[in-house]
Chain A
């Protein structure tokens, strides 16, 4: 099967949350609370065990390209549907001690619900803060990339439901080119801070969910340089080894002196 991906484009998202609803319906995800967050129209805060698509509502004191805000100070209101990044080198997959988290033939990262034992190590190993442990079920959940739909030749529910093609689904390299082309088009039209978010230069090695955003990645809570935690494996174990040798030496000295 071809390596598939999402391309989510903030510049055409209208914040309708159809992706969130379609995701919940198809995957039978429980509710994620009914509380007002006080954060614009976003009442789900972040991705989590019961939120696999999350629409962000950004309010910034910046002009939106050549558009006029209609108020005195510069202002823009942006939307973007966040999702699991399905990293090329995934922190959750590396950390999983049970082998529950696997790489599928379409290149996505999948949590096998019957194998996960709820140890919670993937939760602290995800550099994007995506995967979380469900307190009702006791095991880890995140976007499945609609693996079941993809196996039957269907596109993921969120991409299917998106009314503006803000969420595009397709072959990874093809979408990477489309993303670059879209950014160039936006810049030509005056949206000079348009950029692609696809951390190919970091140890994450690129993702299977790429984004077209306006402005700095931090405003979307996207880490500017995400790293897969296992790059620190060597230095952490080295420090542990040196400390352990010192412990043995101290115990020997304690008896010898």
Chain B
């Protein structure tokens, strides 16, 4: 009988290396001669296995983070536009908020697998759970922005009265306030977890998510034809913030931020930051009055911000797999 080339010490070593690299060996018929001889573990962790569990969220969740951000900030822009009497921007802002809310709910529910399960979210209200705050905020925002759109369209159609005018203002204010929470709670949701890269960036993620929501809301308005100074100003501010955040992440060079700088997710983070940051900013600053450049800047920002949401969730997934990221925070080297 010809000896299986794998059943030698060298062969077993190769299998162990493969196991260490890939996490498991799926070859069939491996006969360990004399049993798997005990090999010392490497480093200080259990076989280098993850301590934490990776996030289980599906692809709908980062998309919801993005859409919720755009919808929430659009309601804020709509309210301020109303205060300044800019009718066109106001109407567009309200509609973007309303459509965003309509898209958000199915995205969030799809992640649960069974639609009726969403109702369980509404059996309690827990301030200590960002997920609970978010579920209630989305419900409140959808109601408020929907009411504001209905009021506004009724008034435009000529059936306005004092009651509708007051109701519209109330609904708009509620939509703007809950919109701010909708656009920002998702960052707190990530920051208040055990995942090292999220938890250690709990003060930075709110800046990223709100800047992304703000810039994307302005960009969507631009893509709808509002090439006005308002959207240009907001776009420049948001792109500047995106650029600064990217510089901070690169320069800080922390171990815990490695998923944001290295590997596929690191490049995804950089691609998102480059599009929403410098690319969009330069197009806005050095394009004169070219409307093509404005559209291009808006497209760059929207795609960049969307990529960034996926990159942050992906970074959490990578971070959860690295036991050293967790240990280094809890037991800093002397």
Name which of A92-100, A147-155, A156-164, A174-182 contacts chain B. A92-100
CB contact between A250 and one of B15, B112, B214, B316 (< 8 Å): that residue: B214
Are B53 and A247 in contact, CB atoms less than 8 angstroms apart?
A: no
Give the CA-CA distance A219 to B47 in the complex, in Å: 8
Given A97-B131, A131-B53, A223-B51: A236 and B206 interface contact (C-beta under 8 Å): yes
Give the CA-CA distance A172 to B111 in the complex, in Å: 39
Are A138 and B114 in contact, CB atoms less than 8 angstroms apart?
A: yes
Write out the residue numbers on chain B whose beta carbons fall within 8 Å of the beta carbon of A241: 184
Nearest neighbor of B126 in chain A, beta-carbon distance: A97
Are A236 and B25 in contact, CB atoms less than 8 angstroms apart?
A: no
Q: Scoring B residues 1 to 42 as 1 if CB is less than 8 Å from chain A, else 0, what string do you get?
A: 000000000000001101110011110001000001011110
Query: Is B330 close to A, CB under 8 A?
Result: yes
Give the CA-CA distance A40 to B37 in the complex, in Å: 8
Nearest neighbor of A249 in chain B, beta-carbon distance: B237
Write out the residue numbers on chain A whose beta carbons fall within 8 Å of the beta carbon of B81: 255
Query: Is B174 close to A, CB under 8 A?
Result: no
Write out the residue numbers on chain B whose beta carbons fall within 8 Å of the beta carbon of A36: 19, 24-26, 30
Interface residues of A in 20-63 (CB under 8 A from B): 35-42, 45-46, 48, 56, 58-61
Are A237 and B124 in contact, CB atoms less than 8 angstroms apart?
A: no
- Which residues of A approach B to under 8 Å, CB–CB? 35-42, 45-46, 48, 56, 58-61, 75, 77, 91, 94-100, 115-121, 123-133, 138, 216, 218-221, 223-227, 229-230, 232-233, 235-244, 246-248, 250-257
Write out the residue numbers on chain B whose beta carbons fall within 8 Å of the beta carbon of A123: 53, 55-56
Name which of B165-173, B227-235, B298-306 contacts chain A. B227-235
Min distance, Cβ A136 to any Cβ of chain B, angstroms: 11
Are B46 and A124 in contact, CB atoms less than 8 angstroms apart?
A: no
6 A-B contacts (beta carbon < 8 Å): A36-B24, A97-B134, A119-B111, A124-B316, A247-B214, A254-B230
CB contact between B50 and one of A117, A129, A230 (< 8 Å): that residue: A129
Query: Is B77 close to A, CB under 8 A?
Result: yes
Nearest neighbor of B109 in chain A, beta-carbon distance: A117
Are A247 and B180 in contact, CB atoms less than 8 angstroms apart?
A: yes
Give the CA-CA distance A95 to B181 in the complex, in Å: 18
CB contact between A129 and one of B19, B51, B114, B129 (< 8 Å): that residue: B51
Are B316 and A58 in contact, CB atoms less than 8 angstroms apart?
A: no
Interface residues of B in 126-144 (CB under 8 A from A): 126, 128-132, 134-135
CB contact between A243 and one of B30, B38, B206 (< 8 Å): that residue: B206
Write out the residue numbers on chain A whose beta carbons fall within 8 Å of the beta carbon of B132: 97-98
Query: Is B255 close to A, CB under 8 A?
Result: no
Nearest neighbor of A233 in chain B, beta-carbon distance: B192
**B24, B193, B229 interface centre (most CB from chain A within 10 Å):** B193
Give the CA-CA distance A123 to B193 in the complex, in Å: 9
Q: A235-B203, A251-B80, A254-B80 are in contact. List 16 more A-B contacts (CB 8 A).
A: A37-B23, A39-B47, A94-B129, A99-B124, A119-B121, A123-B53, A123-B55, A128-B51, A129-B320, A218-B45, A219-B46, A236-B187, A237-B188, A238-B203, A239-B207, A255-B84
Give the CA-CA distance A204 to B114 in the complex, in Å: 33
Tell me the total A-B contact number using a CB cutoff of 8 A.
256
Are B38 and A75 in contact, CB atoms less than 8 angstroms apart?
A: yes
Write out the residue numbers on chain B whose beta carbons fall within 8 Å of the beta carbon of A225: 330-331
Nearest neighbor of A100 in chain B, beta-carbon distance: B120
Query: Is B113 close to A, CB under 8 A?
Result: yes
Are A124 and B84 in contact, CB atoms less than 8 angstroms apart?
A: no
Are A226 and B330 in contact, CB atoms less than 8 angstroms apart?
A: yes
Write out the residue numbers on chain B whose beta carbons fall within 8 Å of the beta carbon of A124: 52-53, 55, 193-195, 198, 316, 320
Considering the complex of A and B, which 9 residue pairs feature the smallest CB-CB distances, nearest first?
A: A38-B19, A97-B132, A117-B117, A236-B191, A221-B46, A97-B131, A129-B52, A120-B56, A240-B206
Give the CA-CA distance A131 to B184 in the complex, in Å: 26
Are B194 and A91 in contact, CB atoms less than 8 angstroms apart?
A: yes
Given A218-B44, A221-B49, A235-B202: A96 and B24 interface contact (C-beta under 8 Å): no
Are A244 and B184 in contact, CB atoms less than 8 angstroms apart?
A: yes
Given A236-B203, A239-B206, A250-B214: A39 and B19 interface contact (C-beta under 8 Å): yes
Min distance, Cβ A41 to any Cβ of chain B, angstroms: 7
Are B234 and A254 in contact, CB atoms less than 8 angstroms apart?
A: yes
Give the CA-CA distance A116 to B330 in the complex, in Å: 31
Nearest neighbor of B329 in chain A, beta-carbon distance: A225
Are B129 and A95 in contact, CB atoms less than 8 angstroms apart?
A: yes
CB contact between B24 and one of A38, A75, A100, A254 (< 8 Å): that residue: A38
Write out the residue numbers on chain A whose beta carbons fall within 8 Å of the beta carbon of B214: 247, 250-251
Write out the residue numbers on chain A whose beta carbons fall within 8 Å of the beta carbon of B287: none
Give the CA-CA distance A61 to B117 in the complex, in Å: 50
Write out the residue numbers on chain A whose beta carbons fall within 8 Å of the beta carbon of B114: 118, 138
Give the CA-CA distance A138 to B58 in the complex, in Å: 12
Given A117-B120, A247-B76: A240 and B188 interface contact (C-beta under 8 Å): yes
Are B210 and A247 in contact, CB atoms less than 8 angstroms apart?
A: yes
Min distance, Cβ B205 to any Cβ of chain A, angstroms: 8
Are B73 and A97 in contact, CB atoms less than 8 angstroms apart?
A: no
Give the CA-CA distance A225 to B330 in the complex, in Å: 5
